[in-house]
Amino acid sequence: MEIRTYEELQLQTAASTAKKDASSLDQDDFMTLMLQQLKSQDPLNPTDNTEFISQMAQLTSVSGISEMNENLAGLADSLYSAQLLDASSLIGKDVLLETDVAALPSDGKVQGQVNLPTSTAALDIEILAPTGEVIGKVPLGPQNAGTVAFEWDGVGVNGEQMPPGTYQIRANYLNGNTVEAITTEVRSEVLSVSVPAGGGSPLVQVQGLGTVSMANIIEIS
């Protein structure tokens, strides 16, 4: 009778299964290897009990890992479905995003806020044309440090009503004798929800701002 070691049997099984990767061996593969080893062992020198128990532990480990992978896959699917459901509930709602773009609707206003790091004697919100020209302005005057809300009704610097569309927006405040820029956060409506082809977090289509990740949403209203 030909006596073969466990390692030789494992190599033979791997070859017969089109060189299956060791990381993909399942419970059936390990059971086959163990049975072959028992059949081929030397009756005068049988497999040591310790080694046999070790192989059984490997079998249990492979089985447990396989079940764990299945459970994790199911959990990931559940989380993804819940995330997609949450994203779809945003359609039609306004979200607050950090941006320097403002979308003026035909029958609405632009709303947003800034977070002042210090009190100021003057805070101004400016609306810019694509050329960089200031075409609208919202003077907010003296403000304390903290969150300051603003609103632009679409009226230009000369009192004319500006057409609906997308405008650049910036905020400046007086810090002592220096005028400094500050980041703006603007509210805009969620139009739709999309799912990346390669998977991952759902994306939301926001009016005037295009597609943004849910992770960039600061507030929902």
**Total of domains in the chain:** 2
- Residue 1 domain-assigned? no
Cβ count within 10 A of residue 36? 17
Query: For the whole model, what pTM was predicted?
Result: 0.63
**Which one of 87, 104, 127 terminates a domain?**
87
- Residue 17 domain-assigned? yes
| Bridge pairing between strands 165-175 and 120-128 | antiparallel
What is the four-CA torsion angle of 204, 209, 211, 217, rounded to 10 degrees? Answer: -50
Pair (118, 205) in one structural domain: yes
Question: Mean pLDDT over residues 115-140, rounded?
Answer: 95
Q: Give me the chain's average pLDDT, please.
A: 79
**Which one of 34, 56, 87 terminates a domain?**
87
Residue 18 confidence (pLDDT) = 46
24 band by pLDDT with thresholds 50, 70 and 90: low
Alpha-carbon 156 to chain mean position: 38
Q: Which of 38-52, 117-131, 177-191 has the lowest mean pLDDT?
A: 38-52
- Residue 187 domain-assigned? yes
Residue 203 confidence (pLDDT) = 87
Alpha-carbon 72 to chain mean position: 18
Cα→Cα distances 100→130, 138, 172, Å:
12, 15, 12
Pair (26, 100) in one structural domain: no
Range of the domain at 119: 94-220
- Residue 153 domain-assigned? yes
What CATH number is attached to the domain comprising 174?
2.60.40.4070
| DSSP per position, 141-164 | EEE-SEEEEEEE-SB-TTSPBPPS
Pair (126, 48) in one structural domain: no
91-122 pLDDT, tens digit each: 899 999 999 999 998 878 999 999 999 999 99
- Residue 156 domain-assigned? yes
DSSP SS3 for 123? strand
